[in-house]
Structure 1
């Protein structure tokens, strides 16, 4: 495959990542509409918002079976429009049970699409022989930021979420179909037995999953509690408190987009160790912060610190040997459990002690890549490419 074709393929995969993030961004901005439309209390809404994580957790282990039958790119072409279409379901739900079912489907299609697009990205990364997964995740963040901005405008203009979601889903599904056409399939390797219908995460991916889990925990806890922290601990107004999440999201996107240069020169292990140090500094600032500028700076540094850990975990899992989609699904299943645990655990610790004390725990998770980065140093076993990749892998892991 020529460099021109590879670069075109990378652009197509980047569009898929941005589109996935755009669906999430659109949904996030209209959650208040859903709450008001169905008359849900905060506790009831909280229960409903667990459904996407549960649906994703249940569905992702089925992804490798789908890839075995269709191939990764064809499965992505089929599933991406379904993921976009699932955005419409919550807005048309007439009651809480229907909303939970709709959000479960939303999460299931999201999780499977997530695995497929990361597997596609790993395939392109291996052919380009340079790190691109973090920048693809940066495009996901950019898509989310742009879409959430459009969603905020739609909400401000009092546009019905049913119309907003329908138009957004149709546009993104169309763009996704164009982007996923003619994506290359993985090169055929040795004959393998069909994976089980429900493929549990391979044990070999557990260390990578733990590394990703810690980063996602810190990101999830910070994203959910940053605004509350600023208002309750740093005495900020609600308008200023909103800047904490904006700062976190912006630095996540910026760090991921700029990470290719850093990973190429430092290697994934050193990059993740550096990231852990930055995240630990950010968490320490948050714990000590009693004024808005210090707290916002701390959350921004946490965003920089955790930005590349999960993408590099996916990249390592995809090149770990065996079935890339199953490996990535294994890491994703472990890491995305943090989305279920992080907000609740942080809140429980804060209730028992204080919010700064809870962020001591968050800081410990954020700093863990300092000690777990060596899991990325495992040699990549890419069938048919061992001899080509050995020198590069040795350089990246130094």
Structure 2
């Protein structure tokens, strides 16, 4: 039954979103140990870590084409295998140069799977005609929290090699089960493709559509900028400017991440009640207010409340932006919006650092509030154009499983 296929598809995709967050967080918590192992300085480690970013951004550019040709389901499974295998490589390196090289592979897998499963999720959102995209990103957040927590627990007893090899085993086992289910289900397709549509039933990414996708990409960039900035600088602000202890300062990002996860878990209900445009406008406004409170709060506890409000506000902006881009232009739209978003996450930490050096960290963090406000403004100003351009129609269908997983 088509309904059963949609349920199985949703479960399989949720597993892959969670697996991606789990593996990536597991790698992140072992970065200090890998730094010590390679003997890298802070500067050379930073250059090596750019391998993840470079590999992801470069791969995102052409993953959309691979999804169109081979189906987003197949690309998701292949990238999950590559991600699971490549996470075991960093502890085998003994120089910053070698570390950077293997992180290119890891980043390529990470970028590829993000475009692929987001493209598949967009197809499912269209099929169900429900805004469930935030639930997938909530799974990613939960997977990341689980991976980070597990990494903290085993850091004292397992070496980085043992820990990350364990992630490889887990990743391959999960991929074997979830991937088998995913490959049995054809991606949903619209029953009546729009005129001049491509093979995926969507209009080609012409200049007008590209401009609209860029709009969604800018919203993703503004959101991801805040996520990257909070991850790298939120705790330091509490410790340096508000005299928080190291332990209490570490709670700062946890408040932000937990609030973002809660926001995404409730995102479908919010979108159904407010709609996408109002959700973006309200989310950006709330995040802006929260970050201003977090930046200028006179006490640690007030700043923590500000961090949590910021997480709630930002929670659904990225999922909505990616879903709208994908609905409009298919995998190519997802790829373009994801590239913008990931670039924002990369720009956030260094931009905050430069601004803090020129002025202060308190002033630098207000850039997160400014960009969240920009995202809200973009959403408001383009509400009519994006609503008119987004394809609509009856629910799409799911074809019966067959031996080929290729989109025709």
TM-score (normalizing by structure 2): 0.88
Q: State the Cα distance separating 1:293 from its structure 2 match.
A: 0.4
The equivalent residue for 1:29 is 29
After TM superposition, list the pairs within 5 Å mapping 1:254-293 onto structure 2: 254-293=262-301
Q: State the Cα distance separating 1:186 from its structure 2 match.
A: 4.1
Question: Is the 8 Å Cα contact of residues 280 and 363 (structure 1) preserved in structure 2?
Answer: yes
The equivalent residue for 1:395 is none
The equivalent residue for 1:44 is 44
Q: State the Cα distance separating 1:180 from its structure 2 match.
A: 2.5
Matched, 1:325 2:362: no
Alpha-carbon distance in 2 for matches of 1:358, 1:160: 37
The equivalent residue for 2:53 is 53
Alpha-carbon distance in 2 for matches of 1:106, 1:139: 21
Change (3 A) 1:284 1:192: same
Question: Is the 8 Å Cα contact of residues 68 and 331 (structure 2) preserved in structure 1?
Answer: no
Q: State the Cα distance separating 1:185 from its structure 2 match.
A: 2.2
After TM superposition, list the pairs within 5 Å mapping 1:71-86 onto structure 2: 71-86=71-86
Question: Is the 8 Å Cα contact of residues 88 and 165 (structure 1) preserved in structure 2?
Answer: yes
The equivalent residue for 1:343 is 349
Question: Is the 8 Å Cα contact of residues 55 and 108 (structure 2) preserved in structure 1?
Answer: yes
Alpha-carbon distance in 2 for matches of 1:379, 1:136: 26
The equivalent residue for 1:8 is 8
Alpha-carbon distance in 1 for matches of 2:153, 2:324: 39
After TM superposition, list the pairs within 5 Å mapping 1:208-227 onto structure 2: 208-227=216-235
Alpha-carbon distance in 2 for matches of 1:262, 1:381: 20
SS in 2 for 1:336: helix
Q: Which moved more, 1:7-16 or 1:199-208?
A: 199-208
Change (3 A) 1:274 1:204: closer
User: Where does structure 1 differ by over 6 angstroms across 4 or more consecutive aligned residues?
Assistant: none
The equivalent residue for 2:404 is none
After TM superposition, list the pairs within 5 Å mapping 1:171-250 onto structure 2: 171-181=170-180, 182-187=184-189, 202-250=210-258
Matched, 1:365 2:371: yes
The equivalent residue for 2:399 is none
The equivalent residue for 1:101 is 101
Change (3 A) 1:124 1:380: farther
The equivalent residue for 2:127 is 127
Unaligned runs of 5+ in 2: 201-205, 396-408
The equivalent residue for 2:398 is none
Question: Is the 8 Å Cα contact of residues 13 and 117 (structure 1) preserved in structure 2?
Answer: yes
The equivalent residue for 1:392 is none
Question: Is the 8 Å Cα contact of residues 227 and 345 (structure 2) preserved in structure 1?
Answer: no
Matched, 1:311 2:319: yes
The equivalent residue for 1:163 is 162
The equivalent residue for 1:252 is 260
Q: State the Cα distance separating 1:191 from its structure 2 match.
A: 5.3
Change (3 A) 1:298 1:135: same
TM-score (normalizing by structure 1): 0.90
SS in 1 for 2:322: helix
Question: Is the 8 Å Cα contact of residues 22 and 143 (structure 1) preserved in structure 2?
Answer: yes
Question: Is the 8 Å Cα contact of residues 235 and 290 (structure 1) preserved in structure 2?
Answer: no
Q: State the Cα distance separating 1:204 from its structure 2 match.
A: 3.5
Matched, 1:356 2:356: no
Q: State the Cα distance separating 1:170 from its structure 2 match.
A: 1.5
The equivalent residue for 2:63 is 63
SS in 2 for 1:378: helix
The equivalent residue for 1:113 is 113
Q: State the Cα distance separating 1:203 from its structure 2 match.
A: 3.6
CA displacement 1:239-263 (0-9 Å, x = unmatched):
0000001111111111111111010
Question: Is the 8 Å Cα contact of residues 324 and 390 (structure 2) preserved in structure 1?
Answer: no
Aligned length: 378
Q: State the Cα distance separating 1:22 from its structure 2 match.
A: 0.5
